[in-house]
A = this chain, B = another copy of it.
Amino acid sequence: MIKILVVDDEPQIARALRINLSAHGYEVATAPDGAQALRAAAALVPDLVVLDLGLPDMDGTEVIAGLRGWTSVPILVLSGRAASAEKIAALDAGADDYVTKPFDIGELLARVRAATRRGNAAGDSPVTEIGSATVDLATREVLRDGAEVRLTKTEWQLLEVLLRNPGKLVGQRELLHRVWGPNYDRETNYLRQYMAQLRRKLEPDPARPVHLLTEPGMGYRFRP
């Protein structure tokens, strides 16, 4: 079942979307503001986010950036503002589509189909092999030698950023920014702490990592 997270502060619209989407076979969750949206997205790992830009607590692009930090889930933006600058800002922040209110529900559903179709067609298998461990980013499960390994929320966020950039070096500034937020740029000790935990849980020999590598002075890298 395809999971959709609807983010809107107006109860009527949220309700209407929920009814229409679930009538077409989607599993729907809703969040009334940006903070709860980010939490819900982390908890549910939806297949699509429908995001209203007029949220009370955060700017729309901030929500998009918060999501894009750790997931490439399709984001479909709803907005009352039709100005091109608004659209460009949202799209460049990482949104996949932009629909202005009032919108035709049939068109919205078609755009939802287009966005979810892409996600499925992209077909990048969400499971990643790390030595003897298997990481499934979609279901948030780690199996190692048949046994399940538990990761905490922070560990997941850190691991996901690395796994979504296979082979690529991710700077420590960027990692801190994406996992802990913009105010933790200097706390590199967090990184060391959690990288060590991830290595203990995933690497065959945590003292000699093969997949979760350190690039001294620069950042970390996941090698498949």
Which residues of A approach B to under 8 Å, CB–CB?
72, 84-85, 87-88, 91-92, 94-98, 104, 106-107, 109-111, 113-114, 117-118, 121-122, 124-125, 138-141, 152-153, 156, 167-169, 215-218, 221
New A-B contacts (14) at CB < 8 Å, excluding given A88-B107, A152-B216, A153-B217? A87-B104, A88-B106, A88-B109, A91-B113, A91-B114, A94-B117, A122-B124, A139-B168, A140-B168, A140-B169, A140-B215, A153-B216, A153-B218, A156-B218
Question: Which of B94, B141, B221 is within 8 Å of A167, CB to CB?
Answer: B141
Question: Which of B87, B109, B152 is within 8 Å of A107, CB to CB?
Answer: B87
Instruction: Known A88-B107, A106-B88, A110-B92; judge A72-B121 contact (CB<8 A).
Output: yes
Closest 9 CB pairs of A and B: A153-B217, A140-B169, A91-B110, A84-B104, A88-B110, A139-B168, A84-B107, A91-B114, A87-B107
Complex contacts, A122 vs chain B, CB 8 Å:
118, 124
A217 touches B139 (CB 8 A): no
Complex contacts, A88 vs chain B, CB 8 Å:
106-107, 109-110
B91 touches A138 (CB 8 A): no
